[in-house]
Amino acid sequence: MELKPNLNPQAFMESSVDFIFKFSTSDNIQSFYECLSSHKPIEIEGILTKEKSYSETFENQVNEYIVPHRKSTSSYRSFYSYFGYKPVAIMGLAQGCDKQCRFCLRWRIEGGKEKIFDTHLIEEDLLNIEEDTIMIFDNDMISTSEKIHMLCDLLEKNKLKKRFIGYGSVNAIMANKEAIKRFKKNGLVALLVGYESFSETEMEYYQKKSKVTDNLDAAAFLKEQKIDVWASFMAHPKWDKADLKPLENM
Ligand code: SF4
């Protein structure tokens, strides 16, 4: 069972749970604590209550991206790590994903169209980060050239030298090569790439927006650019050695 209150609040509906945030915004979090401290009933959009049998009287929404108050976690930040980088900060540039792969929950939670956050918010967030390495948790960090150039403009304008890691799709690697070269000069060190499969039939079934040949071309480009890759595959139980053979060309 997936524990995603946005899509599956039922998973939390049991007697030890008093409140379920189906979605969170700065407003509903603020109102929640105000009601709690003044002992008022919780009748707030986005929040299901045990008292009302978790009944839902509002439209579902996407969680709001709230710029983190990083100082509040200063005692723990030296422990934060991601794929061997430590310490690492995480931040977002956008929510949602246009690719809408069949197996993926993230676009279902965040929306099937990417929305880039306000540039001022991104700049404020970047300037608040003390760590040298930043993991960008966007579904596709390099989704468009515009987004990559926006980030590079902010880094160059503020003379920030950081290392960046994050998720990148094959589709975006193929479409945004020149922008990725600029990003590399501004600190891009590694991408987690969902290649998924070497079978065209499986790629189509997964509703990937790239072909097997794109996987190989994207891998060659990243190798040439000396950008590290964490390659991700959906190894099917029926795969055998022959299915992994194309890996030798990557
Ligand atoms: S590209 Fe990644 S985040 Fe976007 S839908 Fe596919 S698997 Fe999900």
Q: What spacing in Å lies between the alpha carbon of 68 and ligand 1's midpoint?
A: 24
Amino acid at 215: N
Residue entry with tokens 């503020």: 158
| Residue 250 token pair | 């990557």
Amino acid at 169: S
Q: Which pLDDT value is given to residue 1?
A: 40
Residue entry with tokens 């190989």: 216
Q: Tell me phi and psi for residue 150, to 5 degrees.
A: -60, -45
| Residue 12 token pair | 């939390």
Q: What spacing in Å lies between the alpha carbon of 220 and ligand 1's midpoint?
A: 21
pTM of the model: 0.90
CB of 104 closer than 6 A to ligand 1? yes
CA 81, chain centre distance (Å): 16
CB of 142 closer than 6 A to ligand 1? no
Q: Which atom of ligand 1 is nearest to the CA of 139?
A: 3
Q: Which pLDDT value is given to residue 243?
A: 85
Q: In 3-state terms, what secondary structure has residue 124?
A: helix
Q: Which pLDDT value is given to residue 4?
A: 67
Q: Whole-angstrom Cα distance, residue 218 to residue 216?
A: 5
Contact (Cβ atoms closer than 8 angstroms) between residue 136 and residue 91: yes
CB of 210 closer than 6 A to ligand 1? no
In a mutational test of the pocket of ligand 1, which residue from 4, 98, 103, 107 has the highest number of ligand atoms less than 8 Å from its CB?
107
The per-residue pLDDT string of the chain (250 residues; one tens digit each, 9 = 90 and over) reads 445 688 899 999 999 999 999 999 999 999 999 999 999 999 999 999 999 999 998 999 999 988 889 999 999 999 999 989 999 999 999 999 999 999 999 999 999 999 999 999 999 999 999 999 999 999 999 999 999 999 999 999 999 999 999 999 999 999 999 999 999 999 999 999 999 999 999 999 999 999 999 999 999 999 999 999 999 999 989 999 888 888 777 7
Helices (H) and strands (E) in the chain, counts: 9, 9
CB of 99 closer than 6 A to ligand 1? yes
Residue 34, H or E segment: helix 26-37
Phi-psi group of 129: left, alpha or beta (phi > 0 → left; psi -120 to 50 → alpha; rest → beta): beta
CB of 208 closer than 6 A to ligand 1? no
Q: Which pLDDT value is given to residue 121?
A: 94
Q: In 3-state terms, what secondary structure has residue 230?
A: strand
Query: How would you class 159 by CB atoms within 10 Å of its CB: exposed for 0-12, middle for 13-18, buried for 19 or more?
Result: exposed
CB of 140 closer than 6 A to ligand 1? yes
Q: Which atom of ligand 1 is nearest to the CA of 100?
A: 5
Q: In 3-state terms, what secondary structure has residue 172?
A: helix
Pick the CATH number of 70-249 from 3.20.20.70, 3.40.190.10, 3.40.1190.20, 3.90.470.10: 3.20.20.70
Q: Which pLDDT value is given to residue 146?
A: 98
What does the buried/exposed string (b/e) look like for 80-118 if buried means 16 or more CB atoms within 10 Å of the residue's CB? bebeebeebbbbbbbbbbbbebeeeebbebbbeebebbe
Residue entry with tokens 């977002």: 92
CB of 215 closer than 6 A to ligand 1? no
Q: What spacing in Å lies between the alpha carbon of 99 and ligand 1's midpoint?
A: 6
Q: Which pLDDT value is given to residue 44?
A: 96
Nearest CA to ligand 1 atom 2: 139
In the chain, CATH 3.20.20.70 sits at 70-249
DSSP characters for 104-118? -SHHHHH-SS-EEPP
Q: In 3-state terms, what secondary structure has residue 187?
A: coil
Amino acid at 52: K
